[in-house]
A and B are shown apart, each in its own frame.
Chain A
Amino acid sequence: MNKKQKGKFGRFGGQFVPEVLMPAVKELEQEYERFRDDPEFKQELDYYLKDFAGRPTPLYHARRLSEKYGIKVYLKREDLVHGGAHKLNNTLGQALLAKYMGKRRLIAETGAGQHGTATAMAGANLGIATEVYMGAKDMQRQRMNVYRMELMGTKVIPVTSGSQTLKDAINEALRDWVSNVEDTHYLIGSVVGPHPYPTIVRDFQSVIGNEVKQQIMEKEGRLPDSIIACTGGGSNAIGTFYPFIADTEVKLFAVEAGGSGMESTDKAALHSASLCVGEEGVLHGARTKILQDPYGQILESHSISAGLDYSGVGPELAYLAETGRIKPANTSDDEALAAFHELSRMEGIIPALESSHALAYLAKVAGSGELGEIVVINLSGRGDKDLETVLEKGAL
């Protein structure tokens, strides 16, 4: 295994893209190398993260939750980032990079609309024309997010191919990029896709873990025993974990969506747990763990939380899971819903259904001693966007 190979994490990652895009991903790789440590770029990004996004976010000691589970629980409050989720950390970084690269247009994919909204915010703020691909089915389910994007001047383009959800929106965004590669930056929303995207998005999201490290040292004078983050594509998870990778005494739990069961039908999985039960394959430009049938056709995924509902996972997470550095886990739709209600009632914080999967893992294993004495949970987003879904479940 060649760990040093560029753009690879062990044997995972790579650049499996149409020839037309190869020069573009190579250009992006070079330009990112050029600007990532550029003082002017860094200063400008820091400014936006602080004054526009509202960073740093607090590391909050959840007292009542801690009492209930008998361990000290800290919540990293990414729900307080402008827009209500960690997504803006990445979109600001990439939109600024696109501006430095002289690109005149941003395109993005979105599932439920969170990444699309965060891209719309960054695009509007930096004055770059923005178009977002969104599955036609998702557009119906998430009308308010469509409207939010449109309010900020973004054009939302319905995707009617395939299953009309996130994976098809990515396919369509890639097709757009193939056609408009010269003036357009494709702003991917997670640590997926061809190299250098998994690295770029990880770096921009690592602000989460860097802050956690500093904050926990201030509060506890030591590192936590474990960190829990929900994992779809995996951007909030790797962003939280990455600064702790070398600190092997800190256990890292990547909690995927167990959906309504860990089985699959012919064309669809009932879950989105690619790290837990996916098989190796190549999807959207990278070799990683994916949900697929015995022939290699991609299965549709399922989760109550749209942000975790994806058939693949970031290649670096696949690598870290294989080496044993992170531990993949999963919690179901129902367990996530219960955790959603619990945090709302006990702490006065309504969590996103995505983050509720991480919270549910606390409830599931706190009694086992596996998490140690101090645990940090990344509260990746707020739950206002999910109220309709929760209401439909009739769960009060």
Chain B
Amino acid sequence: MRISDKFDELKINGDGALIAYVCAGDGDTTGIVHALIRGGADIVELGLPFSDPIADGPTIQASIERALDAGMNPDRYFEMVKGLGVDVPLVVMTYYNLIFKRGLERFVKDCKDSGITGVIVPDLPPEESGELGGYCEGNGVDLIFLIAPTTTGGRLEDILKRGTGFLYLVSRLGVTGARDDVAGSTKEVLDRVKTDKPKAVGFGISSGEQAAEIIKGGAQGVIVGSAFVDIIASGQDVVRRLEALAREIKSSLG
């Protein structure tokens, strides 16, 4: 399913999107993804683990390490995604070297063939993205860009022009990881980014209360990662708790 179709559907219902991140290969990924969708996740962002994840905080770093130790690799990743059998948009989040090594064209084709309709690459700024962007466009896959509190002026305009699917607004300076508050910079970024494309806010969101505040602030979606990964890391009652947290956050987005 294309990301834009999902946002159109949500718009009709006046709903905000819950975009859930987990790292593939850390735990029973198929069971985890289905639990998140049962809880109400509208889009699932499935991490493809890389050995040197510089944009991630300790929670997701540890998840990536567990996934790599368990043997996750790009071949197994696409194989696994093919077998998921879900009807929400799937997005791959990974670092550029894995894409580069596989070959840009092959990577994007693998995405398309396995049912992935969006790509997020945290270490690929628009300046370096021309070639990958071309393959994505040719294959009906969205290349999703990040916008940081430090993104301004001509660079912001460039990203607004290039970005497809949704715009990933980074709510604060720093790496991924759950926090209790909503950063003051979030509202500022939301106000500053003027576009018709859907805006989703990530980095630090862990509760329905925070998520509601962000939707009220003008976002069309929230991205939640570390809070889910914390549950996976605990190994306790994982599937039930993931579903419950997804439901709690989703119910606050209406």
Contacts and interface: CB of A to CB of B under 8 A. Distances in A.
B135 interface: no
B174 A178 contact: yes
A70 interface: no
B124 interface: yes
A116 B201 CA distance: 37
A14 B101 CA distance: 17
Nearest to B77: A295
A282 B123 contact: yes
B38 interface: no
Interface stretch (A17-25, A196-204, A251-259, A386-394): A17-25
B102 A295 contact: yes
B51 A162 contact: yes
A298 interface: yes
A175 B54 contact: yes
A171 B54 contact: yes
A22 B57 contact: no
A181 B175 CA distance: 12
A279 B159 CA distance: 31
A158 interface: no
A41 interface: no
A22 B174 contact: no
A43 interface: no
B84 interface: no
Contacts of B128: 14-16
Given A282-B97, A296-B97, A18 B174 contact: no
Interface stretch (B11-19, B149-157, B205-213): B149-157
Interface size class of A (residues with CB under 8 A): 35 or more
B145 A19 contact: yes
Contacts of B98: 295-297
B52 A167 contact: yes
A285 B128 CA distance: 11
B125 A179 contact: no
B10 interface: no
A224 to B, nearest CB: 38
Given A22-B125, A23-B155, A178-B55, A283 B97 contact: yes
Interface of A: 14-20, 22-24, 161-162, 167-168, 171, 174-175, 178-182, 279-285, 287, 290, 292, 294-298
Interface of B: 50-55, 57-58, 61, 65, 68, 73-75, 96-102, 122-125, 127-128, 145-152, 155, 159, 170, 173-175
10 contacts: A16-B124, A20-B150, A22-B155, A24-B150, A174-B54, A283-B97, A294-B101, A295-B73, A295-B101, A296-B98
Which 9 residue pairs are nearest across A and B when measured between Cβ atoms? A296-B101, A179-B174, A20-B148, A19-B146, A297-B51, A296-B98, A296-B97, A23-B150, A19-B148
